[in-house]
Chain A
Amino acid sequence: MKGEKMIAGRPLARGWLRSNTTTIGPILAAVAIIAVFQVINPDFLSYNGLITLVYAMSYFLIAACGLTFVIMTGSFDFSVVSVLKLAALLSVLYVDRLGLWVVPLALLVSVGFGFINGLFVAKFKVPSFMATLGVSVVVEGIALYLSKGFLHVINNETFRALATTFIAGLPSIFYWAMGIWILSTFIALVTPFGRRIYAVGGNPISAGLSGINVAWYRIYVFMLSGLFAGLAGVLYMANWGGGSMELGADAAIPLFASVVAGGTALTGGVGGPHRTLLGVIIITWIQAGMFMLAVGRDIQVVTFGLIALVMSIATIDWRRITIIK
């Protein structure tokens, strides 16, 4: 918004283009990616192709929305993937005993870890990357302790129906993802809560001076991130009904890449969950396209690393005169 005012004097079309490059860029990229893969494989945009994409991107979008809130405040949450994994594991381990009550349990645990993350960052002044890295090692440890490293499979039909019921030709996990996306966008753009998150990310000192409790807002965004990661984990389990929860240190990169590819800058205060939808589309569709072309997982990892790198450089707010460590 700041940009639009500054360029108001220039010719309208050029000014509009300039002030919206971070919006237009991802849209063009998404269209280009779809076009390329459609040319290579005409089945890409068929009903079955789209359903596969919907499955791939739904849980991913939920987790990415949570991460977006954290990045909007200028912090980083490395633990999203680990929390997702733990929530998925909790639901598979306790669904037989607790039934659907396992969902609130998993979400509560996830929010708890989000709160711990936030506490370390906001109250103990630990750099967010290191704090969440530490928490994710503990979460991984708990997940390993609970699962004993085995593969677990879910048979509970009511639980699986959470994600696999088809409504109007689309699985319910898609509606969950869209619901979370709309909710996040609403929170970020309309509510005072969201505007304060932008303020904390834009300039924490002036946000504090204008009466926002910066520390608590940092804790809130980490709790939100934990909650969404947990929900993504539960729905992931409901959708796939099991799966090896083996995720390495590289699992956080596609998630992070999709947030920055949407146009949310690491410096905070810019972007938002509404943009993350585009980023998720770009990342998951590249992934799907590469699977289609039988490109190995190793090269996919390299691609996402490069996207993450290039997009973090491209979105960083150069006008800020801050010292970047």
Chain B
Amino acid sequence: MTTLARSRPITTAITQTLKTHPVILALIALFLLFSALYPERFLGPLNFSTILRQFVTLILFALGPSIVIVTGSLDLSYVGIYMLGSVLVWLLTPILGLVSIVVILHLEVATGFLIGVIQVKARIPSFILTLSLLVIYSGLTAYLAGGYPRSVKGYEFITATLIPNLPTAFLWSIPIIAAAVFIMKGTRIGTYLSAIGSNEEGARLAGINVDRYKILAFTLSGLFTGIGSIILFQHHGGSATVELNLNTMVWPLLAIVLGGTSLMGGSGGPQRTILGALTFTVVNRGLVLALLNPEAVQLLLGLLLIVSIVVSSRGLKGVTVT
């Protein structure tokens, strides 16, 4: 292995990357396919800018949960926290002024911490815990907003255009993604979280404070969702949505699974989610540009979700499934 790497470093590096990230091949293939099918629609600057805009939405929602999924748990609360955070901004801006955008961050970190503590202490499955919280938060959002979407003025500076045709939210997301990848790849937090995901009992016996790191994973998820939500809040036009949509909840999960993070935990993480989010966005744009009707697009994306879930859980025989 080492000799091979010394003699032909670049080819080996490429084959290695392709082995661990097979989705790259799919991404390239899809890109070429759509470029060949309708070059004038797909290869225009407008389409690239749309792809980037959708990619940002997806990745900023998916970064946090992909940290939690590495530990084998699931965090579905992101959309709910985003909605409640936005409506709190709408409520607080007249009182506190522009500082109130920070409330999103506080809310999300606090929620993440709370989820972690409940999950660790009360030991209930994280999907039902975070799903319940998602529903509770969306209900609170609708109540606080009075049932209507509310728009807030004054935060336009967050997404003010810096470079033409390049969404500013995308520029913002680069350091955020880098920070998430650094935490998971460059610090021992990432190593410990993967260890917990692949064998929780083993990690405990190896001396890792499993409970504390699980709480940390949920808190980090809240933190990244929080930073992301501040940007997405303005990226989506500075308004607080009140409608909880199944698709908004599911597509970030699809991006995570497509990227190759196993739902069983132990492998993957934010670095793979970038690829997953990009692939998903390209597929979505490709289908939309194919001028299919929206219902058919949703159906095809749903099938893609099932296939990728099945593929990502493949080869895990002997693992207890609940």
Contact = CB atoms under 8 A, between A and B. Distances in A.
Given A125-B317, A127-B263, A313 B127 contact: no
Contacts of A253: 131-132, 135
Given A133-B250, A140-B246, A323-B200, A126 B128 contact: no
A311 to B, nearest CB: 10
B181 interface: no
B295 A141 contact: yes
Given A250-B244, A302-B136, A324-B124, A140 B302 contact: yes
A281 to B, nearest CB: 21
A126 B143 contact: no
A128 B264 CA distance: 12
A226 to B, nearest CB: 16
B132 A145 contact: no
Nearest to B294: A144
A137 B321 contact: no
B206 to A, nearest CB: 15
Contacts of A324: 119, 123-126
A305 B321 contact: no
Q: Does more than half of chain A's interface fall in helix, strand or loop, or is it mixed? A: helix
B72 interface: yes
Given A248-B245, A324-B124, A145 B296 contact: yes
A279 interface: no
Contacts of A121: 321
Given A134-B309, A141-B298, A312-B128, A125 B316 contact: yes
Contacts of A124: 310, 313-314
Contacts of B322: 74-76, 127-128, 268
A210 B245 CA distance: 44
B299 interface: yes
A127 B313 contact: yes
Interface in B110-129: 118-119, 122-129
Interface in A74-132: 74-76, 120-121, 124-131
A144 B131 CA distance: 23
A183 B261 CA distance: 42
A323 B210 CA distance: 11
Contacts of B313: 124-127, 130
Contact of B135 (A138, A204, A250): A250
Nearest to B119: A324
Interface string A300-315: 1110111011001100
A137 B250 contact: yes
Nearest to B303: A138
Contacts of A309: 124, 128-129, 132-133, 136
Contact of A249 (B245, B263, B264, B316): B245
Interface string B44-80: 0000000000000000000000000001111000000
B299 A142 contact: yes
B116 to A, nearest CB: 13
A75 B127 CA distance: 12
Contacts of A313: 118, 122, 124
B140 A298 contact: yes
B293 to A, nearest CB: 8
Contacts of A11: none
A297 B135 CA distance: 12
B184 interface: no
Nearest to B122: A313
B25 to A, nearest CB: 22
A144 B133 contact: no
A104 B128 CA distance: 33
A129 B245 contact: no
B128 A256 contact: yes
Contacts of A148: 295
Contacts of B132: 253, 305-306, 308-309, 312
A56 interface: no
Contacts of A136: 246
Interface in A285-304: 296-302, 304
Contacts of A300: 139
Interface in B226-278: 243-247, 249-250, 253, 257, 263-265
B122 A325 contact: no
Contacts of B125: 76, 129, 266, 312, 324-325
B298 A144 contact: yes
Nearest to A139: B302
Nearest to A312: B124
A114 B299 CA distance: 18
Nearest to A74: B322
B319 interface: yes
Interface string B132-146: 111110111111000
Nearest to A75: B322
B291 to A, nearest CB: 16
B131 A137 contact: no
B140 A120 contact: no
A316 interface: yes
A250 B80 CA distance: 11
A128 B321 contact: yes
B321 A126 contact: yes
A131 B127 CA distance: 13
Interface in B87-125: 118-119, 122-125
B124 A299 contact: no
Contacts of B149: none
Given A127-B313, A134-B305, A309-B132, A248 B143 contact: no
A145 B249 CA distance: 20
Given A256-B128, A313-B118, A316-B124, 5 more contacts: A130-B309, A133-B253, A137-B306, A266-B124, A300-B139
Q: Which 3 A-B pairs have the closest CB atoms?
A: A301-B139, A141-B299, A305-B136
